[in-house]
A = this chain, B = another copy of it.
Amino acid sequence: MRSKVVVGFIGAGYAASIHARAYQKVYGVEVELRAVTASRPERAAAFAEQFGVRRVAADVADLLADPAINLVDICAPNHLHADLAVDALNQGKHVIVEKPLTGYFGDQTESASGDANGRHDMVRVALATATRIAETARANGVRLLYGENWLYAPAIQKVRQLMAASGGTILRIQGEESHSGSHAAYAQHWRTAGGGSLLGKGCHPLAAALYLKHEEGLQRDGRPIRPRTVVAEVGHLTRNPAFVAERRKYIQDGWHDVEDWGTMLVTFEDRSIAQVTASDAVLGGIRNCLTVYGSRAVAEANLNPNTTCVAYAPSDDSFANEYISEKIETKAGWSFPSADEEHAQGYSHEIQDFVEAVADDREPVSGAPLACEVVLVTYAAYLSAAEGRRVDLDQFRTAIPAVGDVRKGR
């Protein structure tokens, strides 16, 4: 008999809403949305009202004190993830942490910016934090569920299946997430975001690339194929003087100490490559795509845009309030509206997997090892870009949990 899953939300914003809608569509497991807490109580109240959550908790401690809650869903800013997760895990709750798991946030003063710090420390601190979360889960016998929706997107899963069916070798993976920039203030500061485009957006295609190489190795040899080195470059495209001088801006600027573009070139132990790009300086709506070049097949996942639905409007106001796609600057002209975004982006399958993982006491598809490896590669990439050199990942890897280890426990 499957356990009932009783959910407590920490945070009541955009990510929490997506999760809440997904919980409502879970099948085969009984789910109760029990409590929510948020820094602004009125927002928590509205959220509870909208999604039928039973009560608003006074604060995190109040929420964690509820013994019925067995799954805590953390949808808070990046720099709060680690402490919240560790507290919840120590209370014996299973925990969902939204991407990225954690990172380096300096000493939390204005001046402790990403620019100013030695990146070597940054990698070690970020990894230590990630490892602390994973170890806490393990020590308490509960699950860390890593909120990486790309792994669950039907198109990414189809790509994985196609590559597996081909029986070939994945030689190269190219992925990107980009759009015209977050308006959220906390995303512009390293001390709250932990990084810029590379962390906030690049974590998606990076996670998918790591996952695909893990799965390839597990399927063929029983052990995941691991990344070995990273070379990266980051940029501040919105500091281009010609752009700065433009009067009307369609792209978000004002990034304090975080990059608005970055690329990581990751070399795996088998010589295969992942090219991961992320940018906050791309017009035309969100771009979420991944291409896998194999020795016996090519497979491409276009989360956005794709041609499932194609539309045209002669004027910007033609479609009124109808949603087109994330961050598109105009509704005029041709566009590629998202027909069922939460499904296509993987949120439905992610929450279904998390709920089943809790109910059946098993590892999720997206768990601690992947979450930690994303932190490793991304901060090593920051180090690479800061020092202008290729970075070997093995030197940092000792502490983080390995995919193979966890799999054995399945």
Binding site for B on A (CB under 8 A): 24-28, 154-155, 157-159, 161-162, 164-169, 171-172, 174, 220, 231-233, 235-243, 246, 249-251, 261, 263, 265, 267, 270-273, 275, 277, 279, 281-284, 293-303, 306-316, 318-322, 329-340, 343-344, 388-390
Contact = CB atoms under 8 A, between A and B. Distances in A.
A337 B162 contact: yes
Given A293-B283, A319-B162, A310 B314 contact: no
A166 B313 contact: yes
A297 B162 CA distance: 25
B337 A171 contact: no
Contacts of A270: 240-242
A246 B169 contact: yes
B313 A333 contact: yes
Given A231-B388, A281-B172, A340 B243 contact: no
A236 B307 contact: no
8 contacts: A157-B339, A165-B321, A166-B318, A265-B265, A279-B293, A296-B315, A297-B314, A306-B307
Nearest to A23: B27
B295 A243 contact: yes
Given A237-B272, A246-B296, A322-B162, A340 B343 contact: yes
Contact of A308 (B174, B344, B389): B344
Contact of A389 (B25, B298, B314, B389): B389
A238 B28 CA distance: 46
Q: How many monomers of this protein are in the complex?
A: 4
Given A155-B339, A162-B322, A273-B237, A171 B24 contact: no
Contacts of A166: 313, 318-320
Contact of A310 (B236, B296, B299, B312): B299
Contact of A332 (B232, B300, B332): B332
Contact of A296 (B162, B318, B335): B318
A267 to B, nearest CB: 7
A171 B250 contact: no
Contacts of A308: 154-155, 301-303, 306-308, 344
A42 B210 CA distance: 45
Contacts of A320: 165-167
Nearest to A300: B310
A133 B157 CA distance: 42
A232 B263 CA distance: 11
A5 to B, nearest CB: 13
A312 B339 contact: no
A83 to B, nearest CB: 34
Contact of A272 (B27, B240, B295): B240
Given A233-B265, A321-B165, A322-B165, A309 B302 contact: yes
A295 B246 contact: yes
A390 B335 CA distance: 37
A81 to B, nearest CB: 29
Given A158-B337, A331-B333, 7 more contacts: A155-B308, A168-B246, A237-B273, A246-B296, A283-B293, A300-B310, A302-B307
